[in-house]
């Protein structure tokens, strides 16, 4: 069933686990996520990035997400990931997204508060949840790149002010992760997560979570993370399985045969993540 992001994340916050938010671009990815969620009896968030919307179109993404959610035996939220523009956020709400992110992290604090407040006012009026971002998460997610030298950790006192002023439902924090493939091992500032959580109380979101070692993910959840974003790990699983299939079956020209192993490979990765995040059995 289709639910709001707030519904899922408030439950996770209360019970100390995290909900996986996986990026979707086509039907096979959506199916892999839903099948994994049903097998593990896990709540889940389907999210579309700027690149995902550009690739598939907001109407296709929204319909895919809604059909999947309505058929699913587990609660599913449909979320806009890294929304940067007010018009696009409104369009997503109109098409049935139940959660949106306004990423104003590139702006100074005051502007970030202003744009986030504006989104919260409209979204809450129609029952849609809002995630915002404070601090700058490094790396590349589709068209958005933040240079390592420009990445800045979230300041706990600013986070408190930001949450009080905006009334946002969840907050993405910059605590040492980065989007994309890691060069070395990410160093997560768990103490910072704990401090921010103590001050704001609302669900915290970890971006750039692909490639983060299992132990670090567990510690981040214990420290107060309730939503974990995964994109790159699915891309890797998809591409690896597809390449292997084509290597072993060079004459196969059936897209269904080619895509099926990719869908299965993603599903395995997602099942593992759901166990790790503690969302299994929470649906
Ligand atoms: O917003 C999406 C995520 O933060 C995904 O990051 O591609 O490093 O898993 P990732
Ligand atoms: Zn992200």
Quick one: which of 275, 272, 244, 270 has its CA closest to 257? 244
Residue 111 lies in a domain: yes
Q: Which atom of ligand 1 is nearest to the CA of 233?
A: 9
Residue 38 lies in a domain: yes
Nearest CA to ligand 1 atom 4: 207
| CATH code: domain of residue 142 | 3.20.20.70
Pocket flag, ligand 1, residue 13 (CB < 6 Å): no
Residue 282 lies in a domain: no
Q: Which stretches within the chain are classed as H helix? A: 5-15, 27-40, 50-56, 58-71, 86-94, 109-125, 156-166, 190-200, 214-223, 232-248, 255-277
Pocket flag, ligand 1, residue 209 (CB < 6 Å): yes
* Nearest-angstrom CA–CA distance, 193 and 233: 23
Contacts of 57 by beta carbon, 8 Å cutoff, 6+ apart: none
Pocket flag, ligand 1, residue 81 (CB < 6 Å): yes
254: containing domain: 5-277
pTM above 0.95, yes or no: yes
Q: Total domain count for the chain? A: 1
Residue 283 lies in a domain: no
Q: Which of 231, 239, 273, 276 to mutate to test the pocket of ligand 1 (most atoms within 8 A of CB)?
A: 231
Q: Say whether 147 is catalytic.
A: no
Q: What pLDDT shows up at residue 37?
A: 98
pLDDT along the chain (283 residues), means of 10: 98 98 98 98 98 97 98 98 96 98 97 98 98 91 74 94 98 96 93 98 98 98 98 98 98 98 98 98 98
Pocket flag, ligand 1, residue 141 (CB < 6 Å): yes
């Amino acid at each position: 069933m289709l639910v709001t992001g707030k519904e899922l994340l408030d439950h996770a916050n209360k019970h100390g686990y995290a909900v996986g938010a996986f990026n979707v671009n086509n039907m096979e990815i959506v199916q892999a996520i839903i099948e994994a969620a049903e097998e593990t009896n896990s709540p889940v968030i389907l999210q579309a990035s700027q690149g995902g919307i550009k690739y598939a179109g907001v109407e296709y993404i929204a319909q895919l997400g809604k059909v999947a959610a309505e058929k699913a035996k587990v609660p599913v939220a449909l979320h806009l990931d890294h929304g940067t523009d007010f018009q696009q956020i409104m369009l997503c709400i109109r098409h049935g997204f139940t959660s949106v992110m306004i990423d104003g992290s590139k702006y100074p604090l005051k502007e970030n508060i202003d744009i986030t407040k504006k989104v919260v006012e409209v979204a809450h009026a129609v029952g849609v949840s809002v995630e915002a971002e404070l601090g700058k998460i490094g790396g590349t997610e589709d068209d958005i790149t933040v240079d390592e030298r420009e990445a800045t950790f979230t300041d706990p006192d600013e986070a408190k002010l930001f949450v009080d002023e905006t009334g946002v439902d969840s907050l993405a924090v910059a605590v040492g992760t980065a989007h994309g493939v890691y060069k070395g091992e990410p160093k997560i500032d768990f103490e910072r997560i704990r401090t921010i959580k103590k001050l704001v109380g609302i669900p915290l979101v970890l971006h750039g979570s692909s490639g983060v070692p299992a132990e670090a993910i567990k510690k981040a959840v214990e420290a107060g993370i309730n939503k974990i974003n995964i994109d790159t790990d699915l891309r890797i699983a998809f591409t690896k399985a597809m390449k292997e299939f084509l290597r072993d079956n060079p004459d196969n020209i059936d897209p269904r045969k080619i895509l099926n192993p990719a869908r299965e490979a993603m599903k395995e990765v997602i099942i593992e993540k759901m166990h790790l995040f503690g969302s299994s059995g929470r649906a």
